[in-house]
Amino acid sequence: MKTRIGKDFYWEMSHRLPFHDGLCKNIHGHTYRLRLEILGYLDENGMVLDYYNIAKIIKPVLEKLDHAFLCDSNDNLMINFLTENGFKMHIMPKTSTAEHIAEYLIELTIDEFSKYKNIDTLKMRIYETEDVFAEIEKQVK
């Protein structure tokens, strides 16, 4: 029988949306929340995946983002400013919308999760604020 498990992770990060006509064009930050859900079959220990192993995959990725400025690879204004001033940043290939962050995180981690043959599906929900989120789901196999 398939079982769904989940774990939440939190981190602080700033970003901006250079294309935006409103306030989000400005530098601003959020307390992000990642809700990771895994759908799969129980292993010989009665687990889909040990929560400790989930954290071993996710935490190193989030440590790179925590208290960093998440920057679109085309936002040269911010890249130059952050580099010149020695600020922590992480560059991603697309704009830092919640939708793109969800896609980026699932792509960064899916290979590690695919090592567990009993896992079928990963779902990541990125909360940018308490009531705003984007969600992506991907088959592991």
List the CATH number of the domain containing 27. 3.30.479.10
Looking at residue 130, its pLDDT comes to 94
How many domains is the chain built from?
1
CA neighbours within 13 Å on the CB side: how many for 103?
A: 9
Looking at residue 141, its pLDDT comes to 77
For every residue of 5-38, DSSP letters joined together read: EEEEEEEEEEE--TT-SSGGGS-EEEEEEEEEEE
CB 83 within 8 A of CB 106: no
Structure confidence by residue, pLDDT tens digits, 15-52:
999 999 999 999 999 999 999 999 999 999 999 999 99
SS3 102: helix
- What average pLDDT does the segment 112-117 reach? 96
Q: Other CB atoms closer than 10 Å to residue 106's CB: what's the count?
A: 18
Phi and psi based region of residue 105 (left: phi greater than 0; alpha: psi -120 to 50; beta: remaining): alpha
Domain containing residue 65? 2-139
126 closest CA partner among 117, 118, 137, 139:
137
Q: How far is CA 17 from the centre of its chain?
A: 17
Question: pTM score, two decimals?
Answer: 0.94
CB crowding 47-57: b at 16 or more within 10 Å, else e = ebbeeeebeeb
* Structure tokens, 1: 């029988």
Structure confidence by residue, pLDDT tens digits, 49-106:
999 999 999 999 999 999 999 999 999 999 999 999 999 999 999 999 999 999 999 9
